Structure 1
Amino acid sequence: MKKLFLCLTTLLCSSASFVQAYDRITGSEFASRSEVIAQNGMAATSQPLATQVALDILKAGGNAVDAAIAANAVLGLVEPTGNGIGGDLFAIIWDAKTQKLYGLNASGRSPQSLSLDYLKSQGDKIPAYGPLPVSVPGAVDGWFEMHQKFGKLPMANLLQPTIDYARNGFPVSELIAYYLDRSISARAKYPGFKEVYMPNGRMPLKGEIFRNSALANTLEKIANEGRDAFYKGDIAREIDRYMKANGGFLSYQDLADHRSDWIEPVSSNYRGYDVWELPPNGQGIAALHILNLMEGFDVKAMGFGSVDYIHAFVEAKKIAFADRAKFYADPDFSDIPVAKIISKNYADQQRPSINMAKAAKRDHAGPVDGDTIYMTTADKAGNMVSLIQSNFRGMGSGMTPEKLGFVLQNRGELFNFIDGHPNQYAPAKRPFHTIIPAFVTKDGKPWLSFGVMGGATQPQMHAQIVMNLVDFGMNLQEAGDAPRILHTGSSQPTGEIMLDGGFVSLESGTGQAVRRELAKRGHVLRDSLGAFGGYQAILRDLESGVYYGASETRKDGQAAGY
């Protein structure tokens, strides 16, 4: 009898493994905790050490931009599996003084000396690792652009906490230890990688103190000598030397010629809320496209987690991503019809093609793989920063200049070889980019700074977060904790429109009856553990100015204020 009871208990527990092990007094049953609420400042990042540095900067008299730069620098050290100064950066900034949003595209371009013909001679696509996918790192220039336009404290003050952590060491968090270990197989063969990240012949373990003195020296040089130390000084020369010695094409001249661009964010109104994204070469407008399509449905009446809601969302995503595959690229090289893609009229024309009884067999199989960090900060004056930064594919290319202490990104992998396609590879061109920050205003006032990490996951989750808040009335933490929907394709070639319908992955919390009905409508369901992204957000109360913060429970993040 006892054995039977144990078997039944095990069966019941395993079948309901998604259920919280406790009952919440307030909030939805899937919420992991309450929102963080504070008046004077707020930071939400994917690592508690970075969040605390951001708050220290705010308390020392810095503003939201200062705090964002300081926290991003820390993240490059403590979360090298997602970002670092070898990667790119995008930001949307609300400036309280001018009462305006500003967009920054700090993504880098391909090497000027690397030709399409040479790449084609090496294979049928750009490889994920090694020297060929490396493009100019834009993050450091992005920091200095933000600082010059909006910063208050000296840059040296902002980088010093990371320099100290890099020299003295920091304890590696659980999730980062896991991703570090997974990074070995693809990257250990590239020069400098083991020397920087595996000094003891292995990756650091959870809780182990890790130091990166080379990165400390690099950041100290940047702090003392400024932006040009990275793009025109010793750091640029060392990157040039390293790449030439190891079959690479990224050169000193590529770095010296780099520039970031201040750009106008674009928006679409969703049920009274203006949702803001950056135009391509990023994929942010796909989130606006999805929301425009979904606005034509009574999403609230459908109900969160219902068959109709999930089905309509997946079908809207397929339509938006087909356009993503066709058009998104560097706007300096092609005329992208952004205004049309994010227009209500365009969505109205496309929406009738959604068959609520049957899944469509159109799908773009864009890249899902790739880790990133998203973070957001806010200060007492009302300034807010939405910032995203990444190496692509976690730790990037594997190419690691040992003397500098960081990995170079592999964003160039996202170019394609399709003749006439806007995202076809060309020298000195920005690739299609997956990382996207987001912002929401209400009646011209700042309401929400948010983002979700993770490749092609991002626009899908941006749309879901907005609907969770606006349609389903969730609070900021609930909106991030709620079970997510992810639609992916069956293969990876950027720019290719697939005709197989792809796969739908649903987080635990979605019942079997819903899953069965989706399968009846033609959706192919597949588990996709760990692919649902990572979320941070700060919401400002439109009346009181009080900040609400939320952070991802699927990762190591923390939201905190004072």
Structure 2
Amino acid sequence: MTSSRSSSRRRRLPLAVLAALLALGQAAPAAAADRITGKPFATRSEVYAPHAIAATSHPLATQIALDVMKRGGNAVDAAIAANAALGLMEPTGSGIGGDLFAIVWDPKTAKLYGYNGSGRSPKALSLAEFRKRGLSDIPPHGPLPVTVPGAVDGWFALHERFGRQSMADNLAPTIRYAREGHPVHEVIAYYWNASVPRLSKWPGFKEQFTIDGRAPRTGEMWKNPNLAATLEQIAQGGRDAFYKGQIARTIDAYFKANDGFLRYEDLAAHRGEWVEPVSTNYRGFDVWELPPNGQGIAALQILNLLEPYDLKSYGFGSPEHVHLFAEAKKLAFADRARWYADPAFAQLPVEQLISKRYAEQRRKLISMDKAAREAQPATPKELDEGDTIYLTVADADGMMVSLIQSNYRGMGSGMAAPGLGFIFQDRGEQFVLKEGHPNSFAPGKRPFHTIIPAFVTKNGKPWLSFGVMGGAMQPQGHVQILLNMIDFGMNLQEAGDAPRIQHDGSTEPAGQAVAMSDGGELDLETGYPYETVRELMRKGHSVRFAHGPYGGYQAIMVNPNGGYVGASESRKDGQAAGY
């Protein structure tokens, strides 16, 4: 999904128009206002199912996941099958040219397992090369931001440990859709059309991802026989068909011919890794994220900062709710910019950053009356004291999968090797081109990552598998879903449909990492009272209205009465369904 640094798809409106829109929507989104259930923010009902459930950003991918489980596959098989389908059906946010992260609840061991499937930078590319080219930031498109794709490795690692049916069976539905075609959905068509002008100049993109130079339209059939052939090779030859076989050699030749640095040796050397999820307890709920190089612990830091405040009494949409959220986010993101990086290249104080004691120190910086214009990261002394798809699947045996996968910036770098049918990610853009920073570019290094799956347990048992994709919105979205459910009493669907907050402008862990000095900007989705907006402005917040940057949500909750509850993002094309 698009980074928060990209504003090409956001439309800003003047304050007078903002006031009118917010006034119209101050009770609830118009689409939900007439529902009779008493859930003002829910655009539709939660989905209940007794045996299994899947929630993805595409209805056909959801149905594929359910079909896999009906045929005897488990939640991991279903998640892999759905992810493969989304790479075909939603190439605006995913594909085998990107990376993957996952959290799995295994009912046999009653334990969570985390997988970091992020790829590394090319070993032949150096910081000096960027300087030689006069670059202060890594460009968003083309060959330079490309890193090793980790998704296929992630599939096979998950499958080897937990899978039940063959990988050939898991990939078969997508191979069939790629050959026979499928109709493109509305939101996907919108983003696809926005990407084509930016990416068509890169070799292989126009030939493989347009119809006569344009994006496919809503409802138009789309086929990708090249991807079908690539997936068939993977189904027959396993992960090595991608990382060590003819696919890898085609990739090597393509980048050598197009001013790129990704090589066969980079692919052959790649392995993701199993990692221990980390957590904090928020009002009796254990919230789990993966440690860096991702940004998941930012959600834990924000929750720790907010926990002492009586948000329930303030109420959803109150000035206090929005203000405290924004101020906690600023503090957590200051640490995110300073500390989150590849742990193989830097010592990261993760346990200190997510500790309650550290949050207690940092909370002293929050004023109830005034918005902070800048936020400094923690010092070592303080610490010593102390564009993307998301899917989730749960099966009849109690296994639950929280999986996120992305090419970054929508359709990625634009680089598409001939005959392979996928686009390479541009995740390397997230490196800093400055020596001494933990996230500074280095050969063979994993960049800072935005994509994060989440999971929640209560009393040692699974409660919620969920995610909110969308660049820097992701940890902000994780926190808002939990506040909506735990503090404001919303159900699973309502928690996702309620109007969202995005604070933008914090110091970033990429580029030149310029420090925030103006307090950033606060995006409020339609549905917040104008009285709240006015009070936020009095506190010094810069409030604006934006279309689009609020992320995409999918969730599955364990039903205490048996089975599962599912919810899907109303802002996307997705579906939650079960049986």
TM-score clears 0.5 = yes
- Give the RMSD, CA atoms, in angstroms: 1.6
Please name the residue that 2:97 is paired with: 86
Q: Of 471, 495, 504, which residue of structure 2 is paired with 1:479? A: 495
Residue by residue, what CA displacement relative to the aligned partner does 1:98-131 show, whole Å, maximum 9, x if unpaired? 1000000000000000011001222111100000
Contact 1:551 1:559 survives alignment (8 Å): yes
Specify whether residues 27 and 71 from structure 1 end up closer, same or farther in structure 2 by C-alpha distance, changes over 3 A only.
Answer: farther
Please name the residue that 1:343 is paired with: 355
Q: Which amino acid aligns with 1:390?
A: S
Q: Distance in 2 between matches of 1:491 and 1:299?
A: 26
Please name the residue that 1:45 is paired with: 56
Specify whether residues 363 and 166 from structure 1 end up closer, same or farther in structure 2 by C-alpha distance, changes over 3 A only.
Answer: farther
Residue by residue, what CA displacement relative to the aligned partner does 1:57-115 show, whole Å, maximum 9, x if unpaired? 01001100000000000000000000000000000000011100000000000000001
Asked if 1:246 corresponds to 2:258, the answer is yes
Q: Of 16, 29, 47, which residue of structure 1 is paired with 2:24? A: 16
Please name the residue that 1:384 is paired with: 400
Asked if 1:121 corresponds to 2:157, the answer is no
Q: Distance in 2 between matches of 1:303 and 1:531?
A: 24
Q: Which amino acid aligns with 1:283?
A: Q
Contact 2:566 2:576 survives alignment (8 Å): yes
Please name the residue that 1:515 is paired with: 533
Please name the residue that 1:6 is paired with: none
Residue by residue, what CA displacement relative to the aligned partner does 1:473-499 show, whole Å, maximum 9, x if unpaired? 111001101111100007865433311
Residues 152-191 of structure 1 aligned to structure 2 (within 5 Å): 152-191=164-203
Specify whether residues 451 and 14 from structure 1 end up closer, same or farther in structure 2 by C-alpha distance, changes over 3 A only.
Answer: closer
Contact 1:270 1:291 survives alignment (8 Å): yes
SS across alignment from 1:183 = helix
Contact 2:195 2:411 survives alignment (8 Å): yes
Specify whether residues 14 and 475 from structure 1 end up closer, same or farther in structure 2 by C-alpha distance, changes over 3 A only.
Answer: closer
Specify whether residues 194 and 265 from structure 1 end up closer, same or farther in structure 2 by C-alpha distance, changes over 3 A only.
Answer: same
- 1:21 Cα offset (Å): 6.6
Please name the residue that 2:562 is paired with: 545
- 1:13 Cα offset (Å): 9.5
Q: Of 543, 547, 571, which residue of structure 2 is paired with 1:529? A: 547
Residue by residue, what CA displacement relative to the aligned partner does 1:393-417 show, whole Å, maximum 9, x if unpaired? 0000000112100000000000001
Q: Distance in 2 between matches of 1:222 and 1:215?
A: 10
Q: Distance in 2 between matches of 1:12 and 1:298?
A: 30
Q: Distance in 1 between matches of 2:103 and 2:376?
A: 27
* Normalised TM-score (structure 2): 0.92
SS across alignment from 1:20 = helix
Asked if 1:402 corresponds to 2:379, the answer is no
- 1:293 Cα offset (Å): 0.3
Unmatched tracts of structure 1, length 5 or more? 1-10, 366-370
Specify whether residues 507 and 364 from structure 1 end up closer, same or farther in structure 2 by C-alpha distance, changes over 3 A only.
Answer: farther
Please name the residue that 2:456 is paired with: 440
Q: Which runs of 4+ in 1 moved over 3 A?
A: 11-15, 490-496
Residue by residue, what CA displacement relative to the aligned partner does 1:174-203 show, whole Å, maximum 9, x if unpaired? 011111110012210000000001132211
Asked if 1:203 corresponds to 2:203, the answer is no
Contact 1:448 1:540 survives alignment (8 Å): yes
Residues 499-514 of structure 1 aligned to structure 2 (within 5 Å): 499-514=517-532
Q: Distance in 2 between matches of 1:79 and 1:300?
A: 38
Specify whether residues 530 and 12 from structure 1 end up closer, same or farther in structure 2 by C-alpha distance, changes over 3 A only.
Answer: closer
SS across alignment from 2:364 = helix
Unmatched tracts of structure 2, length 5 or more? 1-18, 378-386
Q: Distance in 2 between matches of 1:292 and 1:491?
A: 20
SS across alignment from 2:522 = strand
Specify whether residues 360 and 82 from structure 1 end up closer, same or farther in structure 2 by C-alpha distance, changes over 3 A only.
Answer: same
Asked if 1:62 corresponds to 2:73, the answer is yes
SS across alignment from 1:350 = helix
Residue by residue, what CA displacement relative to the aligned partner does 1:307-335 show, whole Å, maximum 9, x if unpaired? 01100110000000000000000000000
SS across alignment from 2:465 = strand
Q: Distance in 2 between matches of 1:340 and 1:481?
A: 33
Q: Of 413, 419, 426, which residue of structure 1 is paired with 2:429? A: 413
Q: Which amino acid aligns with 1:508?
A: T
Please name the residue that 1:4 is paired with: none
- 1:262 Cα offset (Å): 0.2
* Normalised TM-score (structure 1): 0.95
Q: Of 84, 87, 106, which residue of structure 2 is paired with 1:76? A: 87
Residue by residue, what CA displacement relative to the aligned partner does 1:498-537 show, whole Å, maximum 9, x if unpaired? 1110000111000111101100100001122100000000
Please name the residue that 1:286 is paired with: 298
Contact 1:44 1:551 survives alignment (8 Å): yes
Please name the residue that 1:193 is paired with: 205
Q: Distance in 1 between matches of 2:503 and 2:145?
A: 26
Residue by residue, what CA displacement relative to the aligned partner does 1:146-187 show, whole Å, maximum 9, x if unpaired? 000000000000000000000000000001111111001221
Contact 2:78 2:170 survives alignment (8 Å): yes
Contact 2:55 2:555 survives alignment (8 Å): yes
Please name the residue that 1:7 is paired with: none
Q: Which amino acid aligns with 1:291?
A: L
Contact 1:27 1:478 survives alignment (8 Å): no
Q: Distance in 2 between matches of 1:96 and 1:13?
A: 47
Aligned length in residues = 546
Residue by residue, what CA displacement relative to the aligned partner does 1:394-441 show, whole Å, maximum 9, x if unpaired? 000000112100000000000001221100000000000000000000
Please name the residue that 1:36 is paired with: 47
Please name the residue that 1:469 is paired with: 485
Q: Which amino acid aligns with 1:429?
A: K
Residue by residue, what CA displacement relative to the aligned partner does 1:178-236 show, whole Å, maximum 9, x if unpaired? 11110012210000000001132211100000100000000000001111000000110
Please name the residue that 1:100 is paired with: 111
Specify whether residues 482 and 333 from structure 1 end up closer, same or farther in structure 2 by C-alpha distance, changes over 3 A only.
Answer: same
Q: Distance in 2 between matches of 1:343 and 1:197?
A: 46
SS across alignment from 1:376 = strand
